[in-house]
Amino acid sequence: MNGQEASEKPLRTRRRDPEGHRAAILEAARHTFAERGYARTTLREIARRAGVTHGLITRQFQSKERLFLAAVPGNSDLERVVAGDPATLPDRIAHAFVQRMETDAVNDPLVTLVRSAASDERAAAHLLVAMQERSAAAYRSVLSPNAPAALGDDLDTRVALVGSHMIGVVFSRYIARTEPLASMPPEQLTEHLTRILRHILFDDAPAPRNPPQ
């Protein structure tokens, strides 16, 4: 009944407030993905919630996958966050990660992906890989020129282990909510994450490539 009205109004206001629409779409996307999981979310449902047309979303974001990635907080300024002294990269990763998760963990797309991938949604697992690869590329861009030879040798593995550590923390603190991680003050979590990421990335005893039989 309101179909025609809904399909015209956003187009008219888009020219006046494109940033407002973009923000509304991203917020509706985060909530819908969080509530329904990745696979069951449709662009149509997001459009309805954001009060815009389906066409406006596809023009701005092309696909559900791209909209999802755009809705991940921190993705847009990932390079800015990680830029700086390689030695303190773990501090910056831990700080940005905890700050972001504490802001709105319930609707955080990383939580959505972990939940969806755990329910065997292959699309979610692929997206998780895509997100991890984006982070990994950003970490590598800071570390590679400065990495000691021994570390460069298995940098990809170390970056992947950072990713899996952060997924474990997300799971324990925000999904299963196991103590003492669930109630730990954010500052203390940041301290622990920093020291652990530092060891995962930098300790000087990489695993042998060809372990003895």
State the Cα torsion 36-41-44-48 to the nearest 10°: 30
* Positive or negative: CA dihedral 189, 160, 71, 119: negative
Shortest Å, Cβ 171 to a copy of itself? 5
Are residues 26 and 71 in contact, defined by beta-carbon separation less than 8 angstroms?
yes
Query: CB 213 → a copy of itself: shortest distance, Å?
Result: 9
Name the minimum Å distance from CB 199 to a copy of itself.
4
Question: Which residues, 6+ apart, have CB-to-CB distance to 2 below 8 Å?
Answer: none
**Residue nearer to a copy of itself on the CB measure, 24 or 175:** 175
- Which residues touch 192 (CB under 8 Å, ≥6 apart)? 184
Closer to a copy of itself by CB, 3 or 208: give it.
Answer: 208
Contact 197, 93 (CB under 8 A): yes
Nearer to a copy of itself, 83 or 106 (CB): 106
Minimum CB distance to a copy of itself smaller for 53 or for 190 = 190
Contacts of residue 187, defined as CB under 8 A and 6 or more positions apart, other chains included, come to: none
C-alpha–C-alpha distance, residues 21 and 167, integer Å: 31
Give residues in contact with a copy of itself (CB under 8 A).
114-115, 117-120, 124-125, 128-129, 132, 156-157, 160-161, 163-169, 171-173, 175-181, 184-185, 187-188, 191-192, 195-196, 199-200, 203, 205, 207-209, 211
Q: Which C-beta is closer to a copy of itself: that of 5 or that of 179?
A: 179
The rounded distance, in Å, linking the Cα atoms of 203 and 198 is 7
Least distance in angstroms from the C-beta of 122 to a copy of itself: 9
Q: Smallest distance, Å, CB 77 to a copy of itself?
A: 23
